[in-house]
Structure 1
Amino acid sequence: MASDGPGTGRPVVVGADGSESSLRAVRWAARTAASRGRGLHVVHAYGGVDPSLVADASLWRRYQQDLLDHAREIAARAVAVAHEAAPSVTVTTEVVDGAAAPALLERADDALLVVGEQGSGGLGGTLVGSVASSVAAHAVDPVVVVRGDEPTEPAAPVVVGVDGSPASDAAIDFAVAAADLASCPLVAVHTWWDPLFDPVTEPLLGWDAIVDDERRLLAEQLAGRSAAYPDLAVSSVVERSHPSRSLLDRARGARLLVVGSRGRGGFTGLLLGSVGRAMVHRAPCPVAVVPPPGRGSARGSEVRAEVAAR
């Protein structure tokens, strides 16, 4: 069987801040760690208060101790929730005095990182929290943002977006392994969309040939996985639609939606493309954002420094 993700054997890393959203992420991460035979590392970051704002040194020390005690309580609660979700999983914890996003990116180097869609200060609704948005946009390893509802059907699929890029190649590998571990089907979605076509030229185009080409592209990118995963049921969806719309439709009732962090374009330093951003903010199920191969530790250090400086 192929590797199920980066840093095989590394613990799954999950951010915990005490919010219900983060506890849902802890449950998801604990079950995932147990299914992969890995440990779970719970990280809670706190602090961020400038000590110069508190003139009295003794008052500052008491405040720091209160913060630390509260942070330890949050971490302990996360451990209890993890053991409820997956009693066999080995859980370690770490309390970090600092900002959450750079702390999580640092500790998730070459490992799967899991975060909730909202932080403790979140307002609810569909908008993703700043920590989840930041780590998904800058991580050089896979990130899962836990959002939406748990699937009720045992055969709820893993859905993966495929666009022919190296990023979607990595996403396919991640999705195939996730579906195999869950013993569920895999749905590969490939779309094409050209807004430059106008009503005059559209009837002149050979749509059958275009559809055949797009199906061939998807088949080529899926090729080779069946030998490693002979029991995996794979279905393909090829349609003319905007990728975000199609993926959101197919993700309803899914157990996981997997997308590449960048498709055919993107800006240097910001690793999350427009489709990935849309999924992280709007998907009805947990979303895995998988970067393309070649994002090494040097690039990871650069990104973490950039995030920490903000």
Structure 2
Amino acid sequence: MSSRSTGLPVVAGIDGSEQGMDAARWAAAEADRRGAPLRLVRAYHWPPSAGNEGADLLRDLARRQLWAAASAARTVAPGVTVQRRHVDGDPVDVLAAESADARMVVVGTRGLGGFTELLVGSVAGGLAVRAVSPVIGVRATRGDVEQLATPDRVRPVVVGVDGSPASEAALAFAVQTADAWGAPLVAVHSWTDADADHPELSPRDLLVEAETEEKEVLAERLAGWSGKYPDIRIRREVLRGSAARALRERSENARLVVVGSRGRGWATRMLLGSVGRALLHHAHCPVAIVRPEEAATTTR
């Protein structure tokens, strides 16, 4: 890819940890693939009461961490244009602001010291709720990050589809990403007994009828995309049970799992907590979380 990258950048948030370096590498490969610049952002907060000397030391550390991340990024994408930015501010606030002018924001799902729960709760999870662009949480497993520059046309992009506006945006992002990568797409639609509502049917017939209806829901959601991207191999999976468990299991053989940040039903505000958060903690591959507002931005 030419070093003359143009358009909106792929942003990677770093924190000096190895997972931050993994995020930089993943973002670099994706920026290179899309012909976009890479922007590395190191956000930190130094209280004014702590004095100027400490602030200067922290800024110097941030600069050195950014240089190290840029070097790591170039190991997988030597030609990518790299921008470096260190900002005094809360990481979620800073990266959410960056997302307004980005193709996507990439962060690690484990920070300094390996405190996964802390980072997912405070940065990756908080950013997924507030960001304008898609948020990618990188979990480095099986040497994935080091292999990013090599095309992989076997392992699929997996997307959770439930018919909500958020899952429509997630589906759009997943289809376009699979097309850019030349990868197959697996669309997973899960349902539970609560979705079945035919009191006149026997329990067995009720399950058969419900499964038939859910298959029709998924087929309708995919119909337009299959026509627009006929070269993508799309596999449909309709499953009874937990969406989080189904997507986590499929992440073992996936390049990326994509979900929306809002679901259907009364508990829409909790989807990140139940599905997205579970995947950020336990998925075996990077996870993309997409908000409904991003449907128009994924083609940027």
**Which of the five TM-score ranges fits, normalised by the shorter chain?**
0.7 to 0.9
Match of 2:48 among 51, 58, 63: 51
Question: Counterpart amino acid of 1:255?
Answer: R
Higher mean alpha-carbon deviation, 179-188 vs 153-162, is at: 153-162
The answer to whether the aligner puts 1:103 opposite 2:86 as a matched pair is no
The answer to whether the aligner puts 1:93 opposite 2:92 as a matched pair is no
Match of 2:31 among 15, 33, 37: 33
Q: Which residue of 2 aligns with 1:159?
A: 158
CA RMSD of aligned residues (A): 2.8
Question: Counterpart amino acid of 2:48?
Answer: P
Secondary structure at 1:31's aligned position in 2?
Answer: helix
Change in CA separation of 1:222 and 1:115 when aligned onto 2, cut-off 3 Å: same
Q: Which residue of 1 aligns with 2:65?
A: 74
Q: CA deviation at 1:84?
A: 1.2
Q: Deviations over 1:131-187 (max 9, x none)?
A: 112112322321000014255864111000000111111111100111111111100
Q: Deviations over 1:238-258 (max 9, x none)?
A: 111111111111111210000
The TM-score normalised by the length of structure 1 is 0.82
Counterpart Cα distance in 2 of 1:241 and 1:268: 18
CA contact (8 A) 2:9 2:101 kept: no
Secondary structure at 2:84's aligned position in 1?
Answer: strand
Q: CA deviation at 1:11?
A: 0.3
The TM-score normalised by the length of structure 2 is 0.85
| Pairs within 5 Å for 1:70-219 | 70-111=61-102, 112-123=104-115, 128=120, 130-149=122-141, 150-151=143-144, 154-194=153-193, 203-219=203-219
CA contact (8 A) 2:11 2:105 kept: yes
Identity %: 47
Q: CA deviation at 1:204?
A: 4.9
Q: If each structure's helix is expressed as a fraction of its own residues, which one has the higher value?
A: 2
Q: CA deviation at 1:226?
A: 2.2
Change in CA separation of 1:174 and 1:263 when aligned onto 2, cut-off 3 Å: same
Secondary structure at 1:189's aligned position in 2?
Answer: strand
**Runs of 4+ in structure 1 over 6 Å off:** 266-271, 294-297
Change in CA separation of 1:207 and 1:295 when aligned onto 2, cut-off 3 Å: closer
Q: Which residue of 2 aligns with 1:301?
A: none
CA contact (8 A) 1:271 1:291 kept: no
Q: Which residue of 2 aligns with 1:18?
A: 16
Higher mean alpha-carbon deviation, 268-277 vs 211-220, is at: 268-277
CA contact (8 A) 1:159 1:254 kept: yes
Consecutive unaligned residues of structure 1, counting only runs of 5 or more, are 1-7, 55-59, 298-310
Q: Which residue of 1 aligns with 2:3?
A: none
Counterpart Cα distance in 2 of 1:67 and 1:266: 45
CA contact (8 A) 2:19 2:140 kept: no
CA contact (8 A) 1:262 1:276 kept: no
Question: Counterpart amino acid of 1:50?
Answer: P
Counterpart Cα distance in 1 of 2:117 and 2:255: 20
Question: Counterpart amino acid of 1:116?
Answer: G
Counterpart Cα distance in 1 of 2:191 and 2:118: 26
Counterpart Cα distance in 2 of 1:126 and 1:247: 23
Counterpart Cα distance in 2 of 1:250 and 1:113: 23
**Number of aligned residue pairs:** 281
Secondary structure at 2:106's aligned position in 1?
Answer: strand
Question: Counterpart amino acid of 1:120?
Answer: L
Question: Counterpart amino acid of 2:31?
Answer: A
Q: Which residue of 2 aligns with 1:254?
A: 254
Counterpart Cα distance in 2 of 1:22 and 1:260: 23
